[in-house]
Chain A
């Protein structure tokens, strides 16, 4: 009887310990390795961690309060007037008391939700301070960043004490460090997702927030658009990740992507034919493989794509940084160095696609492989890291 009692106590203790290990708790350091190399901590995927905007987009793309709890026009409807949140402190502990927050009404209200519009306080000592859940303790551009929890964050203090981020890290090194337990979160390329899942690795993905497309100058666009076998590329090179598309913006963002279907029509492509210079932006293995396949598809259709710089046809990754159609389209146009036609998002996108200046190919998510000791790691719709609720346990992969 005594033996049974002791065994029962041991079992209860073990269950209690196990339960404790699965409950969020403060402390620990999250180690992230990524190929990304943002210029500063306000840009994606850091956006929102250190510097916050007055208002923000939620996952559906709706505006939500952030450092401002409300906003409205002034009486003359010429200025935006924001009501600042009270009890917000800066990373040095001093209160954030901006006074009246009024801005000319020369842009849509959504623009105030851009990461680029985050509130950054520059001290006379030359430091930059924000109000976010983390503050920067070390920043080596393009190499390494260390974030520490903001104890006086106006929201809840993050569970993590710190976050160590290795930037501009090669995919092979990331994979090695992840397997050796030296990294908790690493990038997961779309082509690797199937393999990682087969290995039982936890994958966290954003929505499809990256457009792979051809930016075209000249008249080769029409033939090219009909020559590319998107599905073969997605199935084989992208290993089924993402979606083939004929639209610039993903359906989750606009709901009208079905208006831009795509088809492969070799005969039609052959009827046009042509020659163009072709380049792949960046040193990206997947993009290179897709580029080679596009060259083969084009060759099959009688279109000769010659490699060259300042090419007429460029294969590009175009990130969708904001969950807002107009802003996303504007960002894509800026990145692709294309003039955005006037009008609403739908009209502009339709004009761009019709002109063949942009040939959308795939929408891809941003994905990360997450180690076993990391809990509640979440990505925003556009791939931003949400580390406020992340906590780490003692497990090792």
Chain B
């Protein structure tokens, strides 16, 4: 992945991450704030309900007290004190009293709590009032209970009062319904619903689970309830048990709509998404702009480095800033300048060394023939003092000697001349195997006659492709290598020549020439291709230099692998089709 892409990705991820984090944080904080407000509202309504229940209880108790204090009730009490009281005439009395006292429920009871008259269920006369458990003493104040009616039971606030007449007593039990109308009187704020759940009747399916939990725990339970299929129609519901003496009478559910909260959360989410997308786009654009500014010099440096690596040491990168990148560019430029200077110096030193070597070699090569020449000329000078016959003989021998030595000098000069006049290769498709076989044939007789003997091993890869080469120059290079190998094995040994198909260089051939001579040191290996460098006593140091020159002209490469005392292997790789820009493959 490119540096710029990576930077862009980091920018985008950072931006979207920050936006997501902010959106999430805002959502969570908003939800918490809403939850807190909703909880407060629900708690306030529950407290209000409790207070209203207490107030209503006092009112119910007062009204029942008034009914109990009426003359009509006293008359019933007096009748009750008779031996065989007839209560049938009071059948409608409870209804009249309930209407007058504005009570929803009123039972006039005998002291054994059988009903004399019932306002809300007149037909229940002579049946037992069951607002209280059997044997339970009526509390002094009002209390919650379930009042049975024709088709179920109502939750009600009721109070009992006893009216005595002599030894007899009757009871007045009255109450007010605690229902939706009662809840409406609480004046809940918009969006808050108070629902009274009758646990004896089928419970609203939306509240069923919550009510079940309250029935189990006998504590206030909270839940979020979907109110309809509409996605935003959800309510947070607090369900409070309404009970007496451990018996659950009903459940008060206070529900606050979450529509606003959910709408706001959705809005925040949308804003977050829009901000996120915008942020990502902005981040990408900014990142692109920033990375462009940051990576351009880096990429230029990279291009420069690649150019330097490919040999273009003249590469110069722009120094656009004063920051670290600018400093890097300046350092790079300094480095290339120093490299160039060092190369120049190295070249200069190489040239000097080469010239010195050349001078040394020339001196060495020329000194050998010069000494016989000098001796011969001095012999001739001295021979003038001898007899003409002796002089002629000396003269003849000396001239032969001079001509021989001059011939040697000419040969030396010819080799130097040849090296200087290496022609440009005339390329054609050449079968490397054929070329190798041809060279080996040339040396066949010489190798056979070599004493001690040299064995040969020819290993030719038939799949080796044709290479683009000048067959004369390639043959010359191979001859030099074979000759070199034979020279390296004066004590005999094995000469191996192998060809292989190449995967590198866009396809091509590899030629290896190995000997089992004394081998080379690492220093010798590094200097072996330097012109006029030789490890042989009578070599000119130009053979391998010529080989390297040929391989280089063919856009191939050559190197030597050697282990001291175990021989050496010279390896040539030649491309099938010469491509001067062949990347990563410098000439030898």
Instruction: Point out residues on A near B: beta carbons under 8 Å.
Output: 191, 194, 232, 235-237, 239-240, 289-293, 295-296, 307
B137 at the A/B interface (Cβ < 8 Å)?
A: no
- Give every chain B residue within 8 A of A237 (Cβ-Cβ): 91, 122-123
Partner of A239, one of B89, B122, B127: B89
- Give every chain A residue within 8 A of B89 (Cβ-Cβ): 194, 239
- Give every chain A residue within 8 A of B498 (Cβ-Cβ): none
Residue-wise interface mask of B (99-135) relative to A, using a CB-CB cutoff of 8 A (1 in contact, 0 not):
0000000000000000000000111111100000000
- Give every chain A residue within 8 A of B92 (Cβ-Cβ): 191
Q: A191-B91, A236-B88, A296-B124 are in contact. List 18 more A-B contacts (CB 8 A).
A: A191-B92, A194-B89, A232-B126, A235-B88, A236-B87, A236-B91, A236-B125, A237-B123, A239-B88, A239-B89, A240-B88, A289-B123, A292-B122, A292-B123, A292-B124, A295-B123, A295-B150, A296-B127
- Give every chain A residue within 8 A of B150 (Cβ-Cβ): 292, 295
Q: Considering the chains assembled together, what is the distance between the CA atoms of A120 and B489 in angstroms?
A: 162
* CB of A305 to closest CB in B, whole Å: 11
Q: Considering the chains assembled together, what is the distance between the CA atoms of A307 and B151 in angstroms?
A: 9
12 contacts between A and B (CB under 8 A): A191-B91, A191-B92, A232-B125, A236-B126, A237-B91, A239-B89, A289-B123, A290-B123, A292-B121, A292-B122, A292-B124, A292-B150
- Nearest residue (CB) in B for A234 is B88
B124 touching A239 by the CB < 8 A rule?
Answer: no
- Nearest residue (CB) in B for A293 is B123
Q: Considering the chains assembled together, what is the distance between the CA atoms of A293 and B92 in angstroms?
A: 14
- Give every chain B residue within 8 A of A292 (Cβ-Cβ): 121-124, 150
Q: Considering the chains assembled together, what is the distance between the CA atoms of A235 and B150 in angstroms?
A: 22
Q: Considering the chains assembled together, what is the distance between the CA atoms of A268 and B98 in angstroms?
A: 38
- Give every chain A residue within 8 A of B151 (Cβ-Cβ): 307
Pick the 6 closest A-B CB pairs, nearest first: A292-B123, A293-B123, A236-B88, A235-B88, A236-B91, A236-B125
Q: Considering the chains assembled together, what is the distance between the CA atoms of A235 and B125 in angstroms?
A: 11
* CB of B335 to closest CB in A, whole Å: 104
- Give every chain B residue within 8 A of A240 (Cβ-Cβ): 88
Q: Interface residue tally of chain B, by bracket?
A: 10 to 19
Q: Considering the chains assembled together, what is the distance between the CA atoms of A387 and B127 in angstroms?
A: 45
- Nearest residue (CB) in B for A240 is B88
- Nearest residue (CB) in A for B117 is A236
Q: Considering the chains assembled together, what is the distance between the CA atoms of A87 and B87 in angstroms?
A: 58
- Give every chain B residue within 8 A of A236 (Cβ-Cβ): 87-88, 91, 125-126
* CB of B28 to closest CB in A, whole Å: 53
Q: Considering the chains assembled together, what is the distance between the CA atoms of A251 and B125 in angstroms?
A: 29
Interface centre among A191, A236, A291 (most CB of B within 10 A): A236
- Nearest residue (CB) in A for B116 is A236
- Give every chain B residue within 8 A of A239 (Cβ-Cβ): 88-89, 91
Q: Considering the chains assembled together, what is the distance between the CA atoms of A194 and B88 in angstroms?
A: 11
- Nearest residue (CB) in B for A285 is B122
* CB of A174 to closest CB in B, whole Å: 17
Near A by CB (< 8 A), chain B positions 141-165 give 150-151
Q: Considering the chains assembled together, what is the distance between the CA atoms of A291 and B89 in angstroms?
A: 19
- Nearest residue (CB) in A for B86 is A235
Q: Considering the chains assembled together, what is the distance between the CA atoms of A291 and B123 in angstroms?
A: 8
Q: Considering the chains assembled together, what is the distance between the CA atoms of A194 and B127 in angstroms?
A: 24
Q: Considering the chains assembled together, what is the distance between the CA atoms of A307 and B150 in angstroms?
A: 10
A296 touching B88 by the CB < 8 A rule?
Answer: no
- Give every chain B residue within 8 A of A290 (Cβ-Cβ): 123
- Give every chain B residue within 8 A of A289 (Cβ-Cβ): 122-123
Q: Considering the chains assembled together, what is the distance between the CA atoms of A292 and B88 in angstroms?
A: 17
Q: Considering the chains assembled together, what is the distance between the CA atoms of A194 and B90 in angstroms?
A: 11
- Give every chain B residue within 8 A of A232 (Cβ-Cβ): 125-126
Q: Considering the chains assembled together, what is the distance between the CA atoms of A235 and B127 in angstroms?
A: 15
* CB of B76 to closest CB in A, whole Å: 14
Q: Considering the chains assembled together, what is the distance between the CA atoms of A296 and B121 in angstroms?
A: 10
* CB of A8 to closest CB in B, whole Å: 49
* CB of A93 to closest CB in B, whole Å: 52
- Nearest residue (CB) in A for B90 is A236
- Give every chain A residue within 8 A of B125 (Cβ-Cβ): 232, 236
- Give every chain B residue within 8 A of A296 (Cβ-Cβ): 123-124, 127
Interface centre among A239, A290, A293, A295 (most CB of B within 10 A): A293
Q: Considering the chains assembled together, what is the distance between the CA atoms of A240 and B126 in angstroms?
A: 16
Q: Considering the chains assembled together, what is the distance between the CA atoms of A194 and B87 in angstroms?
A: 13
Interface centre among B91, B123, B124 (most CB of A within 10 A): B123
* CB of B130 to closest CB in A, whole Å: 13
- Give every chain B residue within 8 A of A307 (Cβ-Cβ): 151
- Nearest residue (CB) in B for A307 is B151
- Nearest residue (CB) in B for A229 is B126
* CB of A36 to closest CB in B, whole Å: 24
- Give every chain B residue within 8 A of A295 (Cβ-Cβ): 123, 150
Q: Considering the chains assembled together, what is the distance between the CA atoms of A236 and B123 in angstroms?
A: 9
Q: Considering the chains assembled together, what is the distance between the CA atoms of A237 and B87 in angstroms?
A: 11
Q: Considering the chains assembled together, what is the distance between the CA atoms of A237 and B124 in angstroms?
A: 11
Q: Considering the chains assembled together, what is the distance between the CA atoms of A295 and B87 in angstroms?
A: 21
